[in-house]
Structure 1
Amino acid sequence: MAGIVLAGGLSSRMGRDKALLPWRGQTLLAHMYGLLERAGAEVVRVSGAYPEFDGVADTVERCGPLGGLFSVAKVLPDGPAWVVPVDMPQLDVALLWQLRDAPQAVCVIFAGQPLPMRLNIDEACRTLLESMIQNPDGPRSLQALQRRLGVLELPVPAAAGSFLVNCNTPEQWEELAS
Structure 2
Amino acid sequence: MLTGMVLAGGRSSRMGQDKAMMELGGQTLLARATMLLEHTGCDEVLVSRNQPGYVQDLVCEAGPLGGIYTVLQQIPSRGGLLIVPVDMPALSTGLLQALVEVGRISGRPCCYQNCYLPLYLPVSATTCAIVHQELQEGGGSVKSLLDHFGGIQLVCQRPSQLQNINSPTDWQGYTSQFTPTEKEAIRP
Verify same fold: TM over 0.5.
Answer: yes
Write the deviation string for residues 10-64 of structure 1: whole angstroms up to 9, x where unpaired: 122222221111121111001000000011110111111355xx52001111111
Amino acid corresponding to residue 69 of structure 1 in structure 2? I
Residues 41-60 of structure 1: pairs in structure 2 closer than 5 A: 41-51=42-52, 55-60=54-59
Residues 109-124 of structure 1: pairs in structure 2 closer than 5 A: 109-124=111-126
**1:63 aligns to what?**
62
The RMSD of aligned alpha carbons is 1.4
**1:169 aligns to what?**
167
CA distance in 1, matches of 2:98, 2:7: 20
CA distance in 1, matches of 2:12, 2:68: 16
CA distance in 2, matches of 1:56, 1:46: 6
More displaced stretch, 30-39 vs 59-68 = 59-68
- SS at the partner of 1:131? helix
Residues 97-112 of structure 1: pairs in structure 2 closer than 5 A: 97-102=97-102, 103-112=105-114
**1:21 aligns to what?**
22
- SS at the partner of 2:152? strand
1:88 aligns with 2:54: no
**2:75 aligns to what?**
76
What's the TM-score once normalised by structure 1's chain length?
0.90
Unaligned runs of 5+ in 2: 177-188
Runs of 4+ with >6 A deviation: none
Residues 131-170 of structure 1: pairs in structure 2 closer than 5 A: 131-136=133-138, 138=139, 140-157=140-157, 160-170=158-168
Unaligned runs of 5+ in 1: none
Amino acid corresponding to residue 106 of structure 2 in structure 1? Q
Identity %: 38
